[in-house]
Amino acid sequence: MKIKSLFSLSLLAAAWFGVSAPAFAGAAQSPAPLRILLIAGGCCHDYANQKDILKKGLEERAHVVVDIIYSASTTTKTEFAEYQNPDWAKGYDLVIHDECSADITDAKTIQNMTNAHAAGLPAVFLHCAMHSFRTEGWNTAGVTPWFEMTGLQTSAHGAQLPIALNFIEKDNEITKGMANWTTINEELYNNYAGGVLPTAKPLVLGKQGADETVVVWTNIYKQKARVFSTTLGHNNLTVSDPRYLDLVTRGMLWAANKLNDTYLKAAPAAVPQKMSLMTEPRADQASLEVESTVCGCQDNSDITLALAN
C-alpha cells in the first residue's frame, strides 16, 4: 500500500510540473556524465587557452565532465608527472591527448601511457600529440609504440596555409551529415608512410596546394581501445570553430562507444566572438621559435589571437 501511494505521489508530481510519467521516470534514471581527462601542454601552441576552449566546447555538446591536466612548459621536453603512475588514468572513461612533447622518450613513461589504452581505455589524439613521444624509428617508417596507438605515421608539416577538408566517409557515424570546409591557416601533417596503419580507417583528407594527406581517422588499438585522431588544431580559431568542436565531440563519443542521443547534446547556438589582436610578441616567442626546429612546429607569427567573451 505504501509503494502504491508513493507511485501515486510521483504521478501527481509529474502532472503538476507538466511531465509525463515515462519522462519523469527517465529523468530520474539519467546516466552519469562520462569522465574525460584532457592532458595539454608543451611546445609551440597556445594550450593555456586551447584547453579551456576544448573543455567548454565539449561539455556544451556532450554529456561529459572534462578534467584538465595542464603544463605551462613550452618546450619539446614537457613532462607530465602523472604518467609516472601506472594508474594515471584510473576512474576516467576516456583520455584526450593534447600534448606536444617530441623529446620525451623515456620508455617507462611511454609504457605507462600505452598500457592504460592497451587495456581498453579509449583515447582522442589532437594535433601535436601525433608528433610527441618520438622513440627510435619515428622518422624512418618504423611503427613506434606511439604510432601503433595513434594509427598513423607522421614526422613533419609544412607552412601554415588553408586546408581544404574532404569528408570521404559520408555515412560514417562520426562524420555523417558533415560538409566539406576549408580551414584558416593551418598545418598539414604528412603521412610519410603513405597513409594510416592497417588497424585504422581514414575519415577526412586535407589538401594544401599539391599535398593531400589523411587528417582525421579512427584506430582500434590492440583490438581493444577505440581511438579517434585529428592532426588539425594548431590555431585557436580552428580549435574554437564549431565545426571542429562538433567533429571532436562526435569522435570522442564514438571512441567511448557512446555516440547516441543520451550523450550527444544539441549543438549550442552560434554566438559571435570578439577577436582581439595583440601585436606584442609573447614572452616565450623566442623559445618557441628555437623549439620549432626540433619538433617540426612553426610558430613564427608575432600576433596572438585571443578569444574574448
Please write the tens of the pLDDT for every residue from 176-207. 999 999 999 999 999 988 889 999 999 999 99
Q: Do 291 and 164 lie in a common domain? A: no
Residue 227's SS3 state is: strand
**The residue type at 241:** D
Q: What's the pLDDT score for residue 253?
A: 98
Contact 83, 89 (CB under 8 A): no
Torsion angle of the four alpha carbons 207, 208, 213, 216, in this order, in degrees rounded to the nearest 10: -70
**Inter-CA distances, 11 with 5, 211, 273, Å:** 10, 62, 44
Same domain, 155 and 279: no
pLDDT tens-digit map of 7-19: 444 444 444 444 4
- DSSP 3-state of 29: coil
Mean pLDDT of 90-103: 93
Indicate whether 237 pLDDT > 70.
Answer: yes
Residue 214 lies in a domain: yes
Contact 252, 267 (CB under 8 A): no
Confidence of residue 22 (pLDDT cuts 50, 70, 90): very low
In a domain, 246, yes or no: yes
Using an 8 Å Cβ cutoff, are 223 and 272 in contact?
A: no
| Same-domain check for residues 110 and 158 | yes
d(CA 3, CA 16): 20
Shared domain check, 55 and 184: yes
Please check whether residue 6 lies inside any domain of the structure: no
Whether residue 142 is contained in a domain is answered as: yes
Strand order in the sheet with 211-221: 64-71, 34-42, 94-100, 123-126, 225-230, 211-221, 200-208, 161-167, 181-186
Per-range mean pLDDT, top range of 78-87, 89-98, 275-284: 89-98
Q: Are residues 241 and 100 in the same domain?
A: yes
Is 121 a member of any domain?
yes
**Residue 181 within a domain:** yes
Of all residues in the chain, the percent with pLDDT exceeding 90 is 62
Please give the Cα distance from 168 to 190 (Å, whole number).
18
pLDDT digit string, tens, across residues 124-159? 999 998 898 888 888 887 899 989 999 999 999 999
Same domain, 86 and 190: yes
**Percentages of the chain per state (helix, strand, coil), in multiples of 5:** 30, 25, 45
With a CB cutoff of 8 Å and minimum separation 6, the contacts of 273 are 240, 307, 308, 309
pLDDT > 70 fraction of the chain, expressed in percent and rounded: 77
CA 257 from centroid of its chain's CA atoms? 15
Instruction: Give the model's pLDDT for residue 104.
Output: 84
List the domain range (segments joined by +) for residue 90: 34-255
Phi, psi (degrees; rounded to nearest 5) at 237:
-65, -30
End-to-end CA distance of the chain: 55
Sign of CA dihedral 221, 226, 230, 236: negative
Q: What is residue 267's predicted lDDT score, i.e. its pLDDT?
A: 66
For residue 154, tell me if it sits in a domain. yes
- Helical H segments across 76-172, by residue range: 107-118, 145-150
pLDDT, tens digit, 9 for 90 and up, residues 25-52: 445 578 999 999 999 999 999 999 999 9
Q: Is residue 267 part of a domain?
A: no
